[in-house]
């Protein structure tokens, strides 16, 4: 036990769990109310009346989370969640990434292409409907086919006669199933974003770290038709009127304050086995890191040399860097916190429980052996599997672009009607604008050269994609020659060449195109990573293991792994001790911005206007009771990727912060929650409002937000009071 971690944090509760909303009344409501919640479960999730869920939205199918903060459809999310949108509007002339963007009236707001928000309408438990169609005599393939059939059937029934969408998702590894119904709005516009130096302050250096001083926020707005329904973009659309929006609290945070976060966490592996942990440490994580490290170096070299390329690749670089650092931290955390040994203990308890009863032995006896066999079968090709995705499919942009065009071209040629062929190909040409806007030939060429060489050097020859045989035969094994040919000879390498081909498509030209050959080869390699026999053992083993584990501990409250469905997590504000003799406070202030500010380091440079405001201590009504401007705070809520942009709320459901990161010491948290260490890093809502008010002077936005202050503010003692106080104490 890391006993030195206890310190002052023993007063905090460490409430692990990402809970399904419709189960709160049954499982969590009483405990949450004892901790400081002043709402009922019905006020959080209801299908009959407006509730908190109606103020929370999913961005782009689960990429991030956001919340509605005004009755005019104003939406708050993270800067990094809107980063691609901000980048899409940026150019050398209007560099909104560097300078920020603010709409001072609604007609200045910018429509974001291919961007949507989804409101959760309801959750239905359809477990029995699905399981009633299954039986123990089915093979895993038969079972999967029937589950898929039922998912589609139930989703269709739930949305018939409506404009809603729905999906059924599996929970607890196929032991439970729930239906989620959504209402999706496609007209979303960019309203405001601080300069990158605020929204990404600290860059890769501070990513996943505490203490933090990042103003990671951006503002969007939802638009609807005249009836408040979803509609395609139109100048005649009006700001959306929500059923519920969040009020913004000016109370700030204190130690042990109740906090809850609602959002769409993407993926966790809390039931991962000891074999899975070991494989992550030894093979999977290091391989992802080595490929992404090389890609980051290639991109950065070109981005530093050309401002236009920096704008084009800003979002790609940030995305690549984020999980490059994540996997480094996760590996360290898994080792440091002995997660492998902890998983072994759980598995041993499970084995003993199974062995104690013949019926349990008959049902669950082979569960762990099936899981172990899966990892034994998959281990020889883990490195190849990672390379197939990281260096193959997404190694360079042209590879995935080629595969997408191959699917389009094949669909077009399958149609005998020449006019329809042209329409299909021209539709692809229209979507290619986005690709070429964020594509630089020389940068992509360097990425392809780098990743192909790494692929050849690091993957066993038996797992190499077929394109390497082509390189050996046609290019004498010279990868540089092949890469030159891709960008010189492929009709996908430039927009002009693509348009020329689409105007007069020829099958022979298509078949000979080196980029097409590359794309098909890499996709084939990626598809070959799926081993149906091994996967069947994995699926059945985990389904039985998780089912048995819950029966082994019937009084334990189990929550399912994250899977991009709305969850609630609750906890408290508080400090922590990351290592012996090291203590981290629960808040950071603007003083830390001045300490970190470095005009020579792009990651730590701040706008002069912000520095001037901080030095003058011109914080306005956004300062705390001691006169400081709080920037970020931490709490022990349980979140993961997809929760970015989620609202952090107090016991009244009012907004106090915006979740944007986790802490370095608990990077293994997606696999094993660590109560003493795990912290959610959030930007304080008062700092967000300070930037909007004082730096951007966007009073139009401040005016449409509802502010509340319920905690009495203590005045800072005057000098005279400070002199008297010690005497009074005596």
Which residue among 22, 54, 70, 80 is the active-site one? 80
| Structural tokens at position 192 | 């405001």
Query: Apex CA 10: angle with CA 9 and CA 11, to 5°?
Result: 85
Which residue among 46, 88, 224, 644 is the active-site one? 644
* Side-chain-facing half-sphere of 447: CA atoms under 13 Å: 29
What end-to-end distance do the CA atoms of the chain give, in Å? 43
* 3-state SS assignment for residue 440: coil
| Structural tokens at position 182 | 């959504």
CA distance 210 to 360: 46
CA distance 605 to 86: 20
| Structural tokens at position 308 | 């236009």
Q: Where are the alpha helices (DSSP H) in 127-189?
A: 127-131, 140-159
CA distance 621 to 703: 14
Query: Apex CA 681: angle with CA 680 and CA 685, to 5°?
Result: 120
Kindly give, in sequence order, each residue whose CB lies less than 8 Å from that of residue 598, ignoring residues fewer than 6 positions away: 604, 605
DSSP helix, strand, coil percent of the chain (3-state; round to 5)? 50, 15, 35
Neighbours of 13 (CB within 10 A): 16
Q: Give the residues across from 170 on adjacent strands.
A: 177
* 3-state SS assignment for residue 450: helix
Which residue among 95, 216, 670, 684 is the active-site one? 216
Buried b (16+ CB within 10 A) or exposed e, 401-436: bbbbbbebbeebeeeeeeeebeebbeebbeebeebb
CA distance 567 to 646: 10
Please say whether the beta carbons of 630 and 686 come within 8 A. Answer: yes
Residues, the chain: 730
Kindly give, in sequence order, each residue whose CB lies less than 8 Å from that of residue 494, ignoring residues fewer than 6 positions away: 441
CA distance 260 to 37: 9
What's the burial of 363, exposed, middle or buried (CB within 10 Å: 0-12/13-18/19+)? Answer: middle
Which residue in 631, 630, 646, 629 sits closest to 680, CA to CA?
646
What's the burial of 146, exposed, middle or buried (CB within 10 Å: 0-12/13-18/19+)? Answer: middle
Tokens 């008062």, residue located: 686
Please say whether the beta carbons of 18 and 28 come within 8 A. Answer: no
Buried b (16+ CB within 10 A) or exposed e, 671-710: bbbbbbbbbbbbbbbbbbbbbbbbbbebebbeeebeeeee
Beta strands 582-584; 110-111: pairing state: unpaired
433 is catalytic: no
80 is catalytic: yes
* 3-state SS assignment for residue 209: coil
DSSP string covering 655-708? EEEEEEEE-GGGGGGGTS--TTT--EEEEEHHHHHHIIIIIS--HHHHHTSPEE
Tokens 């229209």, residue located: 430
* Enzyme catalytic residues: 80, 216, 644
């Amino acid at each position: 036990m890391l006993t030195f971690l206890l310190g002052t944090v023993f007063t905090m509760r460490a409430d692990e769990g990402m809970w399904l909303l419709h189960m709160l009344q049954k499982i969590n409501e009483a405990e949450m109310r004892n901790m400081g919640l002043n709402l009922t479960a019905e006020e959080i999730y209801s299908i009959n009346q407006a509730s908190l869920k109606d103020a929370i939205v999913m961005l782009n199918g689960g990429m991030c989370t956001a919340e509605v903060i005004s009755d005019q459809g104003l939406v708050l999310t993270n800067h990094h969640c809107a980063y691609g949108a901000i980048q899409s509007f940026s150019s050398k002339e209007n560099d909104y990434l560097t300078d920020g963007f603010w709409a001072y009236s609604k007609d200045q707001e910018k429509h974001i292409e291919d961007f949507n928000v989804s409101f959760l309408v309801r959750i239905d438990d359809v477990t029995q409907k699905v399981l009633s169609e299954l039986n123990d005599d089915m093979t895993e393939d038969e079972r999967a086919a029937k589950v898929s059939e039922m998912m589609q059937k139930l989703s269709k029934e739930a949305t018939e006669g409506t404009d809603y969408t729905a999906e059924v998702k599996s929970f607890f590894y196929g032991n439970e199933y729930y239906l989620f119904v959504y209402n999706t709005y496609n007209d979303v516009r960019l309203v405001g974003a601080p300069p990158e130096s605020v929204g990404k302050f600290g860059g890769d250096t501070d990513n996943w770290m505490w203490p933090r001083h990042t103003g990671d926020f951006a503002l969007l707005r939802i638009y609807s038709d005249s009836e408040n329904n979803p509609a395609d973009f139109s100048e005649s659309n009006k700001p959306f009127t929500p059923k519920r929006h969040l009020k913004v609290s000016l109370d700030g945070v204190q130690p042990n304050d109740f906090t809850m976060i609602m959002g769409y966490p993407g993926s966790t592996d809390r039931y991962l086995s000891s074999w899975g942990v070991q494989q992550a440490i030894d093979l999977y994580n290091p391989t992802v890191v080595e490929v992404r490290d090389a890609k980051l170096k290639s991109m950065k070299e070109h981005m530093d040399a050309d401002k236009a390329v920096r704008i084009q690749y800003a979002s790609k670089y940030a995305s690549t860097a984020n999980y490059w650092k994540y996997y480094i931290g996760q590996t360290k955390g898994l080792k440091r916190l002995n997660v492998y040994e902890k998983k072994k203990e759980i598995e041993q308890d499970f084995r003993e429980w199974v062995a104690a009863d013949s019926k349990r032995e008959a049902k669950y006896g082979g569960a762990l052996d099936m899981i172990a066999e899966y990892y034994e079968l998959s281990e020889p090709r883990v490195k190849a599997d990672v390379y197939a995705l990281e260096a193959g499919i997404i190694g360079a942009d042209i590879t995935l672009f080629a595969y997408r065009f191959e699917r389009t071209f094949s669909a077009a040629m399958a149609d005998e009607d020449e006019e329809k062929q042209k329409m299909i190909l021209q539709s692809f040409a229209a979507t290619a604008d986005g690709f070429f806007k964020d594509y630089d030939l020389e940068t992509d060429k360097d990425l392809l050269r780098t990743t192909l060489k790494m692929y050849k050097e690091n993957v066993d020859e038996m797992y190499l994609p077929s394109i390497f045989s082509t390189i050996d035969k046609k290019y004498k094994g010279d990868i540089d020659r092949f890469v030159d040919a891709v960008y010189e000879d492929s009709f996908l390498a430039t927009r002009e060449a693509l348009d020329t081909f689409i105007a007069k498509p020829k099958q022979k030209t298509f078949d000979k195109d080196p980029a097409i050959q590359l794309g098909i080869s890499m996709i084939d390699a990626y598809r070959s990573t799926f081993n149906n026999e091994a996967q069947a053992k994995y699926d059945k083993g985990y389904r039985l293991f998780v089912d048995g584990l819950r029966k082994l501990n019937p009084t334990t409250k189990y929550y399912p792994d994250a899977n991009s469905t709305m969850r609630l997590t609750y906890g408290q504000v508080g400090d922590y001790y990351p290592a012996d003799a090291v203590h981290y406070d629960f808040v950071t202030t603007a003083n830390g911005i001045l300490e970190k500010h470095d005009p020579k380091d792009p990651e730590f440079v701040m706008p002069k206007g912000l520095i001037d405001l901080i030095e003058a201590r011109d914080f306005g009504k956004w300062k705390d009771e001691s006169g400081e401007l709080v920037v970020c705070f931490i709490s022990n809520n349980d979140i993961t990727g997809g929760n970015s942009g989620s609202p952090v709320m107090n016991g009244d459901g009012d907004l106090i912060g915006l979740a944007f990161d986790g802490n370095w010491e608990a990077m293994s948290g997606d696999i094993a929650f660590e109560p003493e260490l795990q912290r959610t890093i959030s930007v304080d809502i008062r700092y967000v409002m300070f930037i909007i008010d004082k730096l951007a002077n966007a009073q139009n936005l401040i005016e449409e937000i509802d502010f509340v202050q319920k905690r009495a503010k203590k005045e800072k003692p005057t000098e005279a009071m400070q002199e008297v106080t010690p005497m009074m104490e005596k």
